Structure 1
């Protein structure tokens, strides 16, 4: 196999010298890179991707990568569509689970998210303000405790980590002090777009500028 890769690579280099701008050569170059790095797409379904080098983690003596487990959960969820009528319905979560709790407090909506991969608790609120203790009145901590009791029955190994996970309010640049009437719209859009990544990688489409933010809210409504 290594000899074949070497020969193909040498042939590819000669072709690039003869036809440097050829689209076909660029395609061959991409295929060669995929072949040598293992970045060949094997599975893609509902935003779950599994590449060749992920599948290769199933080899004896290797630790299985989470991409493989997530791909398999997608397959199992599809299989559930064809379950027998008398069979109970099952839903399989991926390893990158983020559980959302929309909170309605008074006339305001916000989110509390449990990220079971990063083991953290995020408060996602469109309001700005510094007095977190007054704004949330212990609700995140109470939910964390009760959710921990539930998780103790499902995943005892994670319960200690979850109980000690820090509760943090995400400081998004689009937070505002004068849009509480639209907090429900913010919550729905936050649930749709938040993937549990860092704020830098969260493309929510809300701008920091008031005018742009208002336009998006009107569009979402």
Structure 2
């Protein structure tokens, strides 16, 4: 005697019994969505290189922020902890011809403190304090926690090293020099240290101009910045404008920067 249903066309058996799942189409395989390669930030854990060429993202991000469009108090950089942020008006000081605001330097410092866990082999451990942390306050902090170096820190006198790329006629790019030194210096003797800058010249001015684009991109697209994706999208949107129109907007914005500041 055959089991019930065996050999009978259309009979119900454990192999063809209808279930709720079989009434609907099979669930599609979920597509793995990867973030844009630009948002993976090729700048993370790498020294900023001094060169006269820019990548496409650097050109787009720089143009977008230097166009000085949008709400001035909009946060364009913010750490995940919320302890440090920068607004559009401040980040715009990375534009060529402007003095870089100290807050921008602090943003880079936060990024580099985040990256120290993945520093290159042989690179000494470094920590960057906010630009407003003066020597006396730092020494007082060390004393409060019983550090035996607090007295020597209070007495130490800063020295200005004789670097081959020092300038006599450039007081605008101090912030750019500072950020490059932060990003590149790892304890070498001043005479043996080469950050990539040439001596003061037209070529050096061009190098510093390109560095402004590179630092803008490193700061705005870094994984530390919770607004990175939005900043990239805004850069893509601005890049859709005709080249001549983009350049005209940027030139006019930099020229009228003082007026934009007065409305702050």
TM-score range, shorter chain: 0.3 to 0.5
- Per the normalisation by structure 2, the TM-score is 0.31
Comparing both chains, which one has the higher relative contact order based on Cα–Cα distances under 8 Å and sequence gaps of 6 or more?
Answer: 2
Q: 1 or 2, which has the higher strand percentage?
A: 1
- Per the normalisation by structure 1, the TM-score is 0.36
Q: 1 or 2, which has the higher helix percentage?
A: 1
